[in-house]
Structure 1
Amino acid sequence: IMHNGVYGSFGIDGDAEDAHTLCEGYLEGYVNGPAAYFSGGMVTYAGNDYWTERSFLDRVVENYNGSVYIIQGMQDWNVDPHMSFPTHQIVEEAGIEIKTLAGQWAHDYPDRKSGHSGLPSGEGAEAYPYTLRWDWADEMLYWFDWYLRGEGRAPTLGVEMQDNQGGWRFETTYPAPDTEYREISAADMNPSGASMITTTESITLTYGPFESDVFIAGMPSFHIAVTPHSSNGAHGYLEMTDGDGLRLGHAVMDFRFHEGGRDGQEALLGFQTVLGKMEFMAMDIHLEAGQSIVITMSQTGRDYVPSPAAVGGYTINWAESTLTLPLVNRTCADLFQAPMLEYGGDGQRVC
């Protein structure tokens, strides 16, 4: 709805030419945005294809005959990391040549110092100034020279990923092929307080400490057995921090979409349990040996506003709930130094 207002209104200034500049989709957006928000679906009633025709990934996979280069801020709250992961793998598996450059910046260019330097703790500050990729425009030039002009050398395909502490490394795909998926019963994470979630209640769970240095690298999942207490739906927000309170990542779900994907159901049945297959936004987190993670579950958080159709209270069966962490082991030898940045001095990264 916000983007519809910001971009759809360009060129509309109250004169006689507005009838020529007004986009039909602009008006449709003000109907279909709220309709999806309330209904929990793609609003495909009576042949309406407003949302399906704007979902183009399937058509890219089926028809596209070019290359794809994704630039993603892992701390972007506008174009969230889930726009790039698992999109990278989906495109790759379709045989399309793809590369992703993903750093710990927000809604900015990779070399935008003014944006990177102002990031708060837990949202990119720990990685600065190593978030700055002064070479990204050169990288794009090499890419376009090869794919548009047939000049130069073939680019190395894969993912350049930056962890939350600023280290850069290359992975052939993401999550990496050697990822360990560690399953943890939520009942073993010492859930705090009651098992009831309402607008005022939250529950914390803890896992750790880790025995050795490790990277949480990918999209952790938390499958949570939820029993709504009414037909007014249920909504959940998870925030992951380390044991010192440093934010690591988050997940959010309207439990009408408990199976995942874009097709939800209009209402949940009261006291009928569903398994909410929550997935965290892609994260790349470096934890040292001895550190733990803490997950706090509440009805919502940050700027997520649950639909009025998904604000009911619910209970959780932790014995039937499972956290899965994607883990990889990487050392300094696996990292590379980003160009035009200083390493090895006082207060600076070594790798």
Structure 2
Amino acid sequence: MHNGVYGSFGIDGDTEDSHTLCEGYVQGYVNGPAAYLSGGMVDYAGNTYWTERSFLDRVLQNYNGSVYLIQGMQDWNVDPHMSFPVHQQVADAGIEIKTLAGQWAHDYPDRVEGHSSQGSGRGAEAYPYTLRWDWADEMLYWFDWYLKGEGRAPTLGVEMQDNRGGWRFEQTYPPMDVENLVLTASDLAPTGSTVSATSSVTLSFGPFDKETRIIGMPTFHIDATPGLTGGHLFVEMTDGTGMHLGHAVMDLRYHAGGRDGQEVLVPFSSVTAMMEFMPMDVVLQKGEGIILQVTQTGEDYVPSPAASGAVTIDWSQSTLTLPLIERSCDDLFQAPMLDYSSDGGRQC
């Protein structure tokens, strides 16, 4: 997909563009579909086009500059995992960085049309407080300081918006005061043990006895036994009404995490699928709980036919970890040019 869409931007029929048609790009048109159908890895047939273009490690080692990330926490294209945990990795490398992360999708921070069209669980509950009319001013301050040496030094960290619309500043993300709630999956009333194209499993937890904030990247380490040489799992977290809170997805060849993976799994041998949810920042009110729906796939993820077999799960050996923080109105700030009066939707 990336070869076809983004590569075509540089090759539009103009003969002067022919120098952009590199060997790896051309091979990708063949290798991409072949790797997908066969369950091959990213360097299928020796094509290292994409691994050679993974620049993060080199940025952390060599970059001498600043970084300002703007991230939609509901972005379906540039997923939030592109900014988290990258923000903290960049900061820990000594690079000055700030991130503005709101509950919009693949959009700018001040676009009414895009923000107002988001559905429930996808940013609607945060609107219109998603709108950051000040973001261009913030960028100007940033460029004045780093490019011209004028003005004041920016405050580094993360401006994060939760799914209900509240904005707060965190020096690190995830914050340092996270407390992990660790749950054994067999205690969450699983409705089954097999996930396939025709079967799913539901688990639940709650209600919470106070307002609860789940933030960052919850993990679900699942003891999974694939019936074929591959497997695929998708987990959606919702509240009791079915409102989307977050999701996780994994090709079981990458059960241990990382980029290398295990090209062929041993059928009927268990692995620990170290699933990690897409970065999320959600608020549950006292008395609410969470529901986990485990399926073979979901959203726009299309597993390879080689990874579409049934997976059996031992819930007694599976662990859900929820990173929690406590924040109140005193920890939130009011975004400029929005109504925080008693007539508005929020007071903080």
- Percent of residue pairs identical: 69
Return the alpha-carbon distance in structure 2 between the equivalents of residues 248 and 336 of structure 1: 23
- The within-5 A match list for 1:188-267 is 188-192=187-191, 194-231=192-229, 233-267=230-264
Question: Cα deviations across residues 194-228 of structure 1 (Å, max 9, x unaligned)?
Answer: 21111010111001111111110110000000011
1:78-123 alpha-carbon deviations (Å, 9 max, x no partner): 0000101110111111111111100000000001111001001110
Structure 1 gap segments, 5+ residues each: none
CA 1:44/1:190 → structure 2, altered by over 3 Å: closer, same or farther? Answer: same
Q: For 1:144-168, what per-residue CA distance to the aligned partner results, in whole angstroms no more than 9, with x for missing partners? A: 1111111111111110000000000
Q: Residue in 2 aligned with 1:328?
A: 325
1:279 aligns with 2:266: no
3-state DSSP class of the match of 1:120? coil
> Match for residue 41 of structure 1?
41
Q: Deviations over 1:21-42 (max 9, x none)?
A: 6454432332443355344533
Tell me the secondary structure at the aligned position of residue 9 of structure 1. Answer: helix
- For 1:289, what is the secondary structure of its paired residue? coil
AA matched with 1:82 = H
| 1:44 Cα offset (Å) | 6.7
Maintained 8 Å contact 2:39/2:307: no
Contact kept, 8 Å, 1:168 with 1:337, in 2: the verdict is yes
Letter in 2 for 1:92: A
C-alpha contact (below 8 Å) 1:230/1:269 kept by paired residues:
yes
Task: State the number of aligned residues.
Answer: 347
Structure 2 CA distance for partners of 1:18 and 1:172, relative to 1, 3 Å: closer
Please give the secondary structure, in 2, of the residue aligned with 1:110.
Answer: coil
Question: What is the CA–CA distance in structure 1 between the aligned matches of 2:155 and 2:218, rounded to whole Å?
Answer: 27
8 Å contact 1:126–1:165 — kept in the other structure?
yes
Q: Letter of the 2:218 partner, please give it.
A: P
Give the RMSD, CA atoms, in angstroms: 1.6
Q: Tell me the SS of whatever aligns to 1:115.
A: helix
Which amino acid in 2 is paired with 1:114?
E
CA deviation digits over 1:163-210, x for unaligned, max 9?
Answer: 000000001111110000110000110001x21111010111001111
Amino acid at match of 2:227: H
1:338 paired to 2:344: no
**TM-score, normalisation: structure 2:** 0.95
Cross-structure match for 1:311: 308
Moved more, 338-347 or 177-186: 338-347
Report the secondary structure of 2:9's partner residue.
Answer: coil
SS in structure 2 opposite 1:338? coil
Q: How does 1:1-351 map to 2 (within 5 A)?
A: 1=1, 3-10=2-9, 12-14=11-13, 19-20=18-19, 22-34=21-33, 36-37=35-36, 38-43=38-43, 46=46, 48-192=47-191, 194-231=192-229, 233-351=230-348
Counterpart contact for 1:214–1:327, Cα < 8 Å? yes
SS at 2:319's partner residue? strand
Distance 1:105 1:291, change over 3 A: same
Contact kept, 8 Å, 2:249 with 2:277, in 1: the verdict is: yes
Separation (CA, whole Å) in 1 of partners of 2:100 and 2:285: 25
CA 1:341–1:299: 2 relative to 1, 3 Å: same
In the alignment, the residues of structure 2 paired with residue 143 and residue 228 of structure 1 have an alpha-carbon distance, to the nearest angstrom, of 50
Alpha-carbon distance between aligned partners in 1 of 2:274 and 2:184, rounded to the nearest angstrom: 14
Name the amino acid aligned to 2:261: G
Question: How far is the alpha carbon of 1:14 from its aligned partner?
Answer: 4.5
> What do the CA deviations read for 1:35-87 (whole angstroms, capped 9, x no partner)?
553445331765x4312211000000010111111100000010000101110
1:40 and 1:263 in contact (8 A); partners too: no
Instruction: Give the counterpart letter for 2:149 in structure 1.
Output: G
Q: Is the 8 A contact 2:238 2:244 kept in 1?
A: yes
State the secondary structure of the residue aligned to 1:166: coil
- What secondary structure sits across from 1:10 in the alignment? helix
Distance 1:271 1:158 in 2: 46
Call closer, same or farther: CA 1:138–1:174 in 2, change over 3 Å: same
Distance, in Å, in 1 between the alignment partners of 2:297 and 2:18 is 41
Pick closer, same or farther for the CA change 1:307–1:343 going to 2, 3 Å: same
Q: Is the 8 A contact 2:43 2:51 kept in 1?
A: no
Pair 179,35 (structure 1): closer, same or farther in 2 beyond 3 Å: farther
Moved over 6 A (4+): none
Equivalent-residue separation in structure 1 for 2:77 and 2:159 (angstroms):
21
CA 1:145–1:226: 2 relative to 1, 3 Å: same
